């Protein structure tokens, strides 16, 4: 058992979260994480309407009686989704935990807090974590440069970002980006975090609602098979390397504007790919942690293993180094 400020604050058994994941963060995965003692997040914008989100929340409740949350990601968009209506669906569905991510979530934080919802804000810089703390969030989740999805533009890896944040942040904090096993969990705790948040590793589980071709591709990929796209638009995204990500990089290298790549990267293509099994159909988020993914376990098997490894490392390997294991044994 590893009790941290994170497990205490959110009423879960294990210091492991499954962050919001476009197209992947649905009831099957979220309930599996909850049932295995972690904190899973339904991804609000994966649902086409706020009503569909309310139905997905209800569907998740049918699969678990443990706590889970909803992720609300606020990113620049040509036609912004109706955020306030999604937020309303979350509140009316009596969800008690929300992961916000992206730009300036103040209005969402204020309204969610007014309704007694606990908020964990995910960000990629110490200054953003401090501003979220000032906004009144309950916890932060910090994504290092290793993360899948949007790592920001500072390129500070977790090994530096997490302790730098831990030195300044007072509220509970999750380390995110590059975690897949018990070694990572212990490292995160040692760096000052209260637990870990994982994305890519949860995609390669039995319950992740995506085609097996994507899971197999995560197992086969080394740590070298991702691309950082959209850097020239200052909206960097870490995705699995495939025909589309390579084409986007080629076009960016020619100095082409976003409008020239938009048709390649639109969300619908990513979704169609996840369903059909064509890993070259669109872009899909994955981080270099692929180098540590070697199987497709159930979520419970994965989380049991992470906890077992972490407890073994703390209770034996590290204890032996300090001489405490020998005297305790
Ligand atoms: C397929 C996929 C989709 C993602 N979509 C979102 C999203 O919509 N909103 C968000 O806040 N984070 C998103 N993320 C980021 C994750 O929540 C998490 O922060 C990140 O994956 C951590 O890095 P890791 O993949 O190395 O574990 C996504 C990640 C993946 C792998």
Angle (CA) 97-121-116 rounded to 5° is: 35
Band (198; pLDDT cuts 50, 70, 90): very high
Band (103; pLDDT cuts 50, 70, 90): confident
When mean pLDDT is compared across 76-80, 112-116, 230-234, 260-264, the lowest value belongs to 76-80
- Pairwise CA distance, residues 2 & 211, whole Å: 33
Quote the pLDDT of residue 1: 84
According to DSSP, the residues that pair with 60 across neighbouring strands are none
Give the closest residue to 267 by CA, choosing from 290, 240, 285, 246: 285
Q: Which atom of ligand 1 is nearest to the CA of 19?
A: 17
The residue whose CB lies within 8 Å of the most ligand 1 atoms, and thus the one to mutate among 75, 124, 148, is 148
Give the closest residue to 101 by CA, choosing from 197, 209, 240: 197
pLDDT at 78 over 90: no
Quote the pLDDT of residue 327: 55
- Pairwise CA distance, residues 207 & 180, whole Å: 16
Average pLDDT along the chain: 96
Quote the pLDDT of residue 79: 77
Quote the pLDDT of residue 28: 98
Region 93-120: mean pLDDT is 95
Pocket, ligand 1, Cβ cutoff 6 A: 19-22, 24, 43, 71, 73, 101, 122, 143, 146-149, 176-179, 197-201, 203, 284-287, 289
Quote the pLDDT of residue 104: 82
pLDDT in tens, 238-257: 999 999 999 999 999 999 99
8 Å CB contact between 146 and 157 = yes
Q: Would you list the DSSP string of 67-128?
A: --EEEEEE---SS---HHHHHHHHHHTT--EEEEEES--HHHHHHHHHTT-EEEEEESSHHH
Region 144-160: mean pLDDT is 98
Region 1-29: mean pLDDT is 97
C-beta atoms surrounding 23 within 10 Å: 22
8 Å CB contact between 16 and 179 = no
């Amino acid at each position: 058992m590893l009790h941290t400020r994170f497990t205490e604050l959110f009423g879960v058994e294990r210091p492991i979260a499954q962050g919001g994941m476009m197209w992947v963060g649905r009831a099957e995965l979220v309930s599996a994480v909850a049932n295995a003692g972690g904190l899973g997040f339904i991804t609000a914008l994966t649902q086409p309407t706020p009503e569909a989100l309310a139905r997905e929340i209800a569907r998740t409740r049918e699969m678990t009686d443990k706590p889970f949350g909803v992720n609300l990601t606020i990113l620049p968009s040509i036609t912004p989704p109706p955020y306030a209506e999604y937020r309303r669906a979350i509140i009316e569905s009596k969800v008690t935990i929300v992961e916000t991510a992206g730009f300036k979530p103040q209005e969402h934080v204020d309204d969610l807090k007014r309704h007694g919802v606990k908020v964990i804000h995910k960000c990629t810089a110490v200054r953003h974590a401090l501003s979220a703390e000032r906004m009144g969030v309950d916890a932060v989740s910090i994504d290092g440069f290793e993360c899948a999805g949007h790592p920001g533009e500072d390129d500070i890896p977790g090994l530096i970002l997490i302790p730098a944040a831990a030195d300044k942040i007072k509220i509970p904090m999750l380390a995110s980006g590059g975690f897949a096993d018990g070694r990572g969990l212990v490292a995160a705790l040692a760096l000052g975090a209260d637990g870990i948040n994982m994305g890519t590793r949860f995609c390669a589980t039995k319950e992740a609602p995506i085609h097996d071709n994507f899971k197999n591709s995560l197992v086969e990929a080394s740590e070298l098979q991702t691309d950082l796209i959209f850097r020239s638009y200052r909206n960097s995204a870490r995705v699995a390397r495939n025909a589309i990500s390579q084409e986007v990089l080629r076009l960016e290298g020619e100095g082409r504007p976003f409008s020239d790549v938009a048709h390649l990267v639109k969300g619908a293509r990513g979704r169609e790919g996840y369903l059909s099994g064509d890993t070259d159909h669109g872009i899909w988020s994955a981080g270099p942690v692929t180098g540590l993914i070697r199987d497709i376990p159930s979520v419970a098997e994965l989380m049991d293993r992470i906890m077992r490894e972490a407890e073994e490392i703390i209770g034996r390997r590290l204890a032996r180094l300090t001489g405490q294991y020998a005297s305790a044994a």
